[in-house]
Structure 1
Amino acid sequence: MRILGIFRATAFTLAIFFIAGCSNNNLLDQLQNPGQISGGFGPRNLRIFVTNTVNNGILGGAAGADTICLADTANPMGAGNGSWKALIAGGGRLACSTPYCTGGSAENIDWALKPNTNYVRPNGLVIGNTNPAGIFVFPLSGIISDLATTFVWTGLAGDWMTGSTCSGWTVTASSGDRGQVDKNDAQAINFAPDTCGTSQRLYCVEQ
């Protein structure tokens, strides 16, 4: 009986320790978003949305583009909520310094996508999984948006290297690469450049 009592006390102590540490594992977020597991304990379903607002090539660098994503009315968590990064290269952000990131995720600088992660649209439809280098291998499992013939600034070449970026998203007197949101091949990130004085949307990626 004494041994049984010691066992029960130990189990109770461990249970209290586990519950006390749950806040460090984003328990509330997991309960609200089943299937999204934070902290590296399993696969995650992170969202990508397309902004409602359009902007010319002066985004204020990558950080300015992130601010636009956060404040956008298409933010599925509500404007101003969550943590989001714009899926763009340039202005302090880099996906790959070699074609298709042959050096792996070490090439990523302040990159929006995470390695080995499942991405979905706000409605839960699957877009695709990133590889260990933090990029999609085309074709995608599904398109990023149903908006027909709609474009977003990306600053990306089709091989995920940096293309034209409106001088780091700071000027209108230049050109910037853009993607088409209803494509599942490389045109999703690199359809064709456009003049930076035109207005385009953005891809926004949950962090």
Structure 2
Amino acid sequence: MVESKFKTFFFLFRQLVFLPFFLSLISCSDGSFNNACDTKTKAYFETSLIAVAAGQKTHPCYPGSQIVSEPGINLSDNFVTLTEARGTSSNGSSYTVQVFLGTEPKDDVNVQVIVGNPSYVLVSQSNLLFSKSNWNQNQSTVITAVNDTVINGNHSTLIRFLPNTNDTSIPLNEKLIQVEIVDNDKILFPTSVGQTGTLGGVSGADGVCQSNANCPSGKLCKAMLGDSINLFRRASVTANVGDGQIDWVLKPNTSYYRPNRTDLIATTNNVSLFTFNLSLAVSGTSSTTWTGINPNWTNNGNDCTGWTVTGTSGYGGDTGSNTTSALGFNTFGCTSSLMLYCVEQ
């Protein structure tokens, strides 16, 4: 029994004594085991696993580098999704990417941040400098989507992190981040067939818009209506302010086009309202449309009892106007056959 314990102890002692030497042999010889000093090889990662199992915190090839990071440039992310919305009239959402070195350099390392398509995204820092004094401190650059006024669908670009240094002791490979930008520009259109004011409520009107041929495939379309009875939809409580919105169909800082996707109607402000006059009328043809919305974006009390009853009246606008008349200019009997404004969501 004593002899068995002694053999076990001797075996473990021998592993601990010779393991660092063994690691240095397989890791630092350029021609051995598929060059385990090359961070791109399988041997590098296998050597890292052996080192971790032995309680080592650094790779034998790179004593100043934590195994969890590469000796060269490291990025916190390599894929980022942004949206043109959620920002301002010119900028969309943003994301901060951390950049750091895995080991101390012998000379300054300058990392150039190059955007593949500057019309898609912007970066806050185009150059990052790592020196012997700050190499172990994370640096960052903020990536911000450009909020354009073009319906160009979701689009993407690459951001390159290109290192430059006189230090040849550590591998410094270019790194890439792919950025996906979600387009926020949409279409707004009137229906081509009139409807009475008995629409089945706001949800029924939404169904009419959803089934319209102009509603893009796979997208959701809703009716631009005000509802004063049930308060299922509202653009503003106070004139032209955009407060107290309920299930409102326009989005902030978003450009809306006619169905041909080239004729810009208008771009909303940061509270999801159009400022008149519009660039173009919603339609090139003048027709009357149900809105239930006053020219100042507040709900009008005439809405066919929440768009459910024909025995009352509803408020309507002019599809061919680029003034506030587009929202409303008169009341009409709910048995009238009027159009609807439909908005892509």
TM-score, reference length from structure 1: 0.78
Consecutive unaligned residues in structure 1, runs of 5 or more: 26-32
Contact 1:95–1:111, Cα closer than 8 Å, also in 2: yes
Write out per-residue CA displacement over residues 33-62 of structure 1, whole angstroms, 9 at most, x where no aligned residue: 953459x95762110111122111111111
Structure 1 residue corresponding to 2:152, chosen from 31, 35, 38: 35
Give, in whole Å, the separation in 2 of the partners of 1:34 and 1:194.
35
Structure 2 residue corresponding to 1:86, chosen from 216, 223, 248: 223
Structure number, greater radius of gyration? 2
Aligned: 1:112 with 2:229: no
Which amino acid letter does the alignment assign opposite residue 206 of structure 2? D
Structure 2 residue corresponding to 1:144, chosen from 261, 282, 299: 282
Which amino acid letter does the alignment assign opposite residue 247 of structure 2? D
Write out per-residue CA displacement over residues 131-151 of structure 1, whole angstroms, 9 at most, x where no aligned residue: 11111110001111112x311
- Count of matched residue positions in the alignment of Structure 1 and Structure 2: 186
More contact order relative to length (CA 8 Å, sep ≥ 6): 1
- The aligned counterpart of 1:161 is 298
Give, in whole Å, the separation in 2 of the partners of 1:126 and 1:157.
23
Give, in whole Å, the separation in 2 of the partners of 1:153 and 1:188.
10
- The aligned counterpart of 1:171 is 309
Give, in whole Å, the separation in 2 of the partners of 1:199 and 1:176.
11
Shift of residue 98, structure 1, vs aligned partner? 0.8
Aligned: 1:198 with 2:336: yes
- The aligned counterpart of 1:50 is 190
Aligned: 1:185 with 2:323: yes
Write out per-residue CA displacement over residues 67-92 of structure 1, whole angstroms, 9 at most, x where no aligned residue: 0101123x2425xx520110110151
Change (3 A) 1:7 1:172: farther
Write out per-residue CA displacement over residues 148-189 of structure 1, whole angstroms, 9 at most, x where no aligned residue: x31110001111111111111011111111111110000001
- The aligned counterpart of 1:72 is 212
Consecutive unaligned residues in structure 2, runs of 5 or more: 1-29, 31-36, 41-69, 84-149, 156-179
Identity %: 33
Contact 1:43–1:117, Cα closer than 8 Å, also in 2: no
Secondary structure, counterpart of 1:63 in structure 2:
helix
TM-score, reference length from structure 2: 0.49
Give, in whole Å, the separation in 1 of the partners of 2:252 and 2:151.
20
Q: Please tell me the root mean square deviation across aligned C-alpha atoms, in Å.
A: 3.0
